[in-house]
Amino acid sequence: MTKKLTYELYDVVEMKREHPCLTRSKKFQIIRVGADIKIMCLGCGHQIMMNRVDFNRRFKKVLSHEENKIEIK
């Protein structure tokens, strides 16, 4: 039996692997949800688009629910 993954637009999620940027962050914010999912690294602001199957495989847990997009400076 498969578990139901619950994530929504603007949620901050933790991925299984860290992003290969200088901050080595595992925290990402979901900025687009559809057939594909677009996430943004909260360390460097880089945006990554992946299909839902790949995202579900690499997704670890939801850290927080946000109302708006987080701005990276």
Q: Which has the higher per-residue pLDDT, 3 or 38?
A: 38
pLDDT value of residue 3? 62
User: Whole-number mean pLDDT of the chain?
Assistant: 90
Nearest to 49 by CA among 36, 33, 60, 30: 36
- State the pLDDT confidence band at 2, using cuts at 50, 70 and 90: low
| Structure confidence at residue 26 (pLDDT) | 96
| Domains of the chain by residue range | 12-64
Contact yes or no for 12/29 (Cβ under 8 A): yes
pLDDT > 90 in the chain, percent: 77
| pLDDT digit string, tens, across residues 5-29 | 789 999 999 999 999 988 899 999 9
Residues 6+ apart with CB under 8 A from 11: 29, 30, 62, 63, 64, 65, 66
